[in-house]
Amino acid sequence: MANAFWCIVEDDRKGAPKKVMAEVIGEAARLSGGDVEAVWLTDTASDEGLGQLAGWGATKVWLLENAAFAPYRGEVWTPVVAELVAQHAPKAVFAPVTSKMREFAARLAARLGAGLSADSVGMTMDGDQLVATRPVYAGKLLAKMTWAKTPWIATLRPNVFKPADAQAGKTPQVEKPAVTIPGAAMKLVERREEASTGLPELTEAETVISGGRGMKGPENYVILENMAQVIGAAVGASRAAVDAGWRPHRFQIGQTGRTISPKLYLGFGVSGAIQHLAGMRTSKVIVAVNKDPDAPIFKIADYGIVGDLFEVVPALTEEFKKLLEK
């Protein structure tokens, strides 16, 4: 339907949408009064996955299932979605902030000659105009953005928007449009999987534990991993710890790393340099443990303990265990 809000699906590569889609679809539904459609480009979609999208509120799923769509390549995805947009004139095109969606949304905007608000953390309707809020200048300011015309293209930061409640037993209306799939210039050589930590992905985790310079060495992160196992958290690091070679770059939280927005952030031995705050200041609850009472992180922390993390972490892990075993 023209005027629908479209949500581009990020999936788990096994036929199901990622749970961040509940947030994207939920926000699109709130803004549009329920006029939400999902657009899913994938090499494999499952009925359960389609049901999830419907359960979150997608009234229709545009399903483009073809081996050419995985892994994502801009030159294949962009013309296909741009053609669909031209035919069906959605009012908005939303996607979650992921590595591929950030590039894809940019390319789609360029191809359509439309505006893009990347990494948005707030959305409101001002009359019949969408206004997006996004952090700028290392999160020191918030910018309210408006578009000159539709479609309003935006990527949405995970863990910020309220997820849609899942309705059970929904079957979506699935439409498989006929599209011309362009040939790919890029050829996949291989995919190298990261060694699995068994812990949630940093950008998606509801709880994140972060270790900074105060961890004193790579061997000590095991105490954070033990806590992470107990509370189901991801473990990240500050730039100081990454630059020291203690943790791989993919675990870095901050301006030159990952931006996270968990429900609970626990920083141990993290001083709270501006560039770290840029990557985590939209966390809902911030806990800081640092020996230095003047560490800047205490200025934004909801709860702080001034003390030695090597005493606090094991004690806190035990206390979490007691609580969660009850």
Q: Which amino acid is at 283?
A: S
Sole window of 30-38, 87-95, 98-106, 211-219 interacting with another protein (rule: CB under 8 A): 98-106
Helices 309-325 and 221-231 meet at what angle, rounded to 10?
A: 20
Minimum gap (Å) between residue 303 Cβ and another protein: 6
Contact between 162 and another protein by CB under 8 A: the answer reads: no
Instruction: Out of 44, 66, 106, 226, point to the residue binding another protein (CB under 8 A).
Output: 106
Q: In the range 56-95, which residues lie near another protein by CB under 8 A? A: 71, 73-75, 78
Please state, in angstroms and as integers, the Cα–Cα distance from residue 142 to each residue in 132, 135, 136, following that order. 10, 4, 6
Contact between 105 and another protein by CB under 8 A: the answer reads: yes
Q: Are 90 and 151 in contact (CB under 8 A)?
A: yes
Q: Tell me: cis bond preceding 151? Omega within 30 of 0 counts.
A: yes
Contact between 306 and another protein by CB under 8 A: the answer reads: yes
Instruction: Out of 15, 19, 46, 102, point to the residue binding another protein (CB under 8 A).
Output: 102
Structural tokens at position 89: 């004139």
Residue with tokens 């473990």: 235
Closest CA relative to residue 266, chosen from 220, 311, 222, 312:
312
Q: How many CB atoms lie within 10 A of CB 16?
A: 20
Q: In the range 273-292, which residues lie near another protein by CB under 8 A? A: 274-275, 278, 281, 284-287
Structural tokens at position 181: 């799939």
Residue with tokens 């996004």: 134
Q: Which is nearer to another protein, 47 or 311 (CB)?
A: 311
Q: In the range 112-151, which residues lie near another protein by CB under 8 A? A: 113-119, 131, 134-149
Q: Which is nearer to another protein, 25 or 278 (CB)?
A: 278
Sole window of 36-44, 169-177, 215-223, 312-320 interacting with another protein (rule: CB under 8 A): 312-320
Q: In the range 169-208, which residues lie near another protein by CB under 8 A? A: 185-194, 201, 203, 207
Contact between 2 and another protein by CB under 8 A: the answer reads: no
Spatial neighbors of 266 by CB under 8 A, at least 6 apart, are 207, 208, 209, 210, 227, 233, 287, 288, 289
Q: In the range 20-59, which residues lie near another protein by CB under 8 A? A: none
Q: Which is nearer to another protein, 70 or 166 (CB)?
A: 70
Phi, psi of 291, rounded to the nearest 5 degrees: -70, -30
Q: In the range 208-267, which residues lie near another protein by CB under 8 A? A: 231, 249-250, 252, 255-257, 263-264
